[in-house]
Amino acid sequence: QQQVKQSPQSLIVQKGGISIINCAYENTAFDYFPWYQQFPGKGPALLIAIRPDVSEKKEGRFTISFNKSAKQFSLHIMDSQPGDSATYFCAAYGRDSNYQLIWGAGTKLIIKP
């Protein structure tokens, strides 16, 4: 119940295209859903986050879509750029996960010029 399932494992998108990464969860007590971006040799950096009372959040080219009934959320990167090439992790928090971020397995995104 504490799992977050992330797909795909890897993704190749042409420059200018839309990159879409999906996550699904089971625990309905989760109430905070961040996405982290990690470049090789660096720590994860918070990209965007959403709470379940909102169905969509947009920051620049990055959008989170949230479907509470389906227990799914996704990251959309519009006009993908080579600089977006990184590993993306979805995660979830809840009352009963204490301090723990429950992480997805990660998606390695490559944007081809």
Paired tokens of 4: 């977050």
Q: Per CB under 8 A, which region of 15-23, 57-65, 74-82, 95-103 contacts other proteins?
A: 95-103
- Amino acid identity of residue 111, one-letter, is I
The verdict on 31 binding other proteins (CB under 8 A) reads yes
Q: Which of 21, 23, 63, 106 binds other proteins (CB under 8 A)?
A: 106
Cβ distance to other proteins smaller for residue 69 or 98: 98
* 14 vs 28, beta carbon nearer other proteins: 28
Structure tokens given for 88: 């993306």
**In this chain, which stretch among 15-23, 52-60, 75-83, 104-112 interacts with other proteins, using CB under 8 A?**
104-112
Cβ atoms 96, 1 nearer than 8 A:
no
Q: Is 27 in the site for other proteins (CB under 8 A)?
A: no
Burial of 104 (0-12, 13-18, 19+ CB in 10 A): buried
The angle formed by the CA atoms of residues 42, 52 and 18, to the nearest 5 degrees, is 55
